[in-house]
Every structure is written in C-alpha cells, then in structure tokens.
Copies of this chain bind each other. A is one copy, B any other.
Amino acid sequence: MFDLGKYLAEKSGLVDSYLREYFSSSRIRPLLLKESMEYSVSAGGKRIRPVLAIASYEACGGENTAGMLHCACALELVHTYSLIHDDLPAMDDDDLRRGKPTNHKVYGEAMAILAGDGLLTEAFRMLSAPCRQTRKAETGEGGGAGVLLAVIADLAARAGLLGMVAGQAQDIISETVLPGGPRADRRQEVQFIHVHKTAQLITASVRMGAMLSGADAGGLQAMTGYGEAIGLAFQIADDILDVKGETALMGKTAGSDERKQKLTYPLAFGMEASEREAADLVGKALSCLEGFGDRAQPLRAIAGYIIERKS
C-alpha cells in the first residue's frame, strides 16, 4: 500500500534541504533582500510544485532525481514570487500567508516587490546556470542543453503571459472592473483565471519532470493532460476550502474570498457543481496515467489528495 504522507514528507524534505543549503551558501547582498526572499521561501509551503516535478520525472523513468532537484526547486522560487506579489496592497492586500505576516508586512512594499523580482529572475538562473547538478543532467537521460532550453521556454510561457501573470491580471480586472458582470461571463472569467493563474504553473511542473526524464511525445502529452486536470482541480478545491475550511488549518482566514468579492468557482457555478467538477477532473487526471504502471503511483495519490486535503 502506497503511503502518500511518507512520500510527500520525503520529497518535500529534499526540496527544503536544497533551498536551505541554497540560501545558507549564497552571498546575496544587500542582506535585507536575501532575508526577505528567504523569509517567504522558508515559510513552510507544501512544495507541491517541485514534488510534482519529481514525481513526474520518476514516473517517466527518470533515475537521477538529485541531478534535476535544482530545476524542481526553481519552481518553488517562481511560486513564492507569485505569492509575494499577489499579497501586495495594490493586488490582493493580504496580511497573512500560511499563518505568518506577508512579506510586505515585514519588509515593506519596495523590498517585497524586489524579493519577488529577485526570486523570479533567480529561478531562470537556477535552470540555466552551469552547476554540478546541471552537468550531471547534461550527461544523463535528459538530453542536455536543448532539453533545459525547452524547460525554460515552457515555464516562462506558463508562468508568464500564457499563464500565471495573465491569470492574475484577469483576476484583478474581474475584481475591480466587473465585480457584478452577467453570470455567463463570470463562468468564463473564473475558468480563465483558474486555468491561467494556477493550472498552468502546475502543468509546467509536471511537464518539467517529463521533459527532464527524456519522455517521448506520448508521455509528455499524457503528463500535460494530467497536469492541466489536477491544476484546475487544485484551484477549485481551494475555492471550496475557502468556503468550508477551518481558519486554523489553512493559515489564512476562512471565507476571505467571499469578503473580498473574489470570483470563485462556487460563486460562479454553485457548490455542488464545483465539487462534481473537481472530482471529474481527478478522474480525468487518473485516466491520463493509464499505462504508466506502478511508477505513477505517487501521481495518482497526489491527484486524490488534491481534492481531499484540509489545508
């Protein structure tokens, strides 16, 4: 019987170790910038994106996880930058994140903007810079510089204008310009926002693992389908959790989306339809993994976990 808790603890532990070592050995100056970046990176997320990259890499037959760990960790830097910028007063104006004061509450807005800019830029350096691990990857199954270039292009598209940045922009516009638009528009809008803001970076994570393992076109396509499905399911589950969840477990205030008039899936589609959609997406994700055998067991378990989690 596969133990997901143990698996998540082990893989997120690898990510935590890498990131801790990264900051302790880095000579980032000024120190306040380094502290600000490290504060948010070490704020204790679940590392779900790097873990997905690792799980996908191993599901596709990759055998040098240590050699691709820096690529997986770059995803966490991108995710953390997005949280810091999203929390800014000009954006979602959040004071708490994972139960701790948000970055700008501690370091001020200017340093928070720069910490985000620094993390985003550093993610691309981490993916491209020649380092011990990259050299290993280049001689391993990943296919070298061409594959890394493809990984960078995919991540940049899905974290940027074909994904996260576009989704957050639409989120801001929907809140401020059209809070009470017609219902049909709001359904399209919330789908656009969730797919772009959340699902695309999760898809990039899953695809990264597949690409670095040297997966063929069919394998990459299957992993893309899996990533898109769990990515959207993840955000719908998040919306549901915001309505139903308990403040203490989530590290943020339950019901905060509603108070902020956030456009959520339950608001646009209703609670029942949202729960059904999340479950359907998990089913779709599982069907993408048919033919992957036991190696994809972690990805299957993560798909289920995504809609059953409590925080």
Contacts and interface: CB of A to CB of B under 8 A. Distances in A.
A185 to B, nearest CB: 13
A96 interface: no
Interface residues of A, number: 50
A251 B154 CA distance: 38
A120 B146 CA distance: 22
Given A129-B153, A148-B149, A161-B121, A169 B90 contact: no
Contact of A30 (B120, B121, B145, B170): B170
A128 B114 contact: no
Contacts of A26: 161
Interface stretch (A54-62, A104-112, A271-279): A104-112
B159 A121 contact: yes
A168 interface: yes
A156 B118 CA distance: 9
A32 interface: yes
Contacts of A306: none
Contacts of A222: none
Contact of A113 (B91, B111, B170, B192): B91
A110 B29 contact: no
A159 B117 CA distance: 10
Nearest to A168: B114
A13 interface: no
Nearest to A116: B117
A180 interface: no
Given A146-B145, A149-B149, A160 B129 contact: no
Interface of A: 26, 28-30, 32-33, 85, 88, 90-91, 108-111, 113-114, 116-118, 120-122, 124-125, 127-130, 144-146, 148-150, 152-153, 156-157, 159-161, 165-166, 168-170, 172-173, 176, 192
Given A85-B113, A85-B114, A110-B172, 14 more contacts: A29-B170, A29-B192, A32-B173, A33-B165, A88-B113, A90-B109, A91-B113, A113-B113, A117-B117, A125-B161, A129-B153, A129-B157, A144-B145, A145-B148
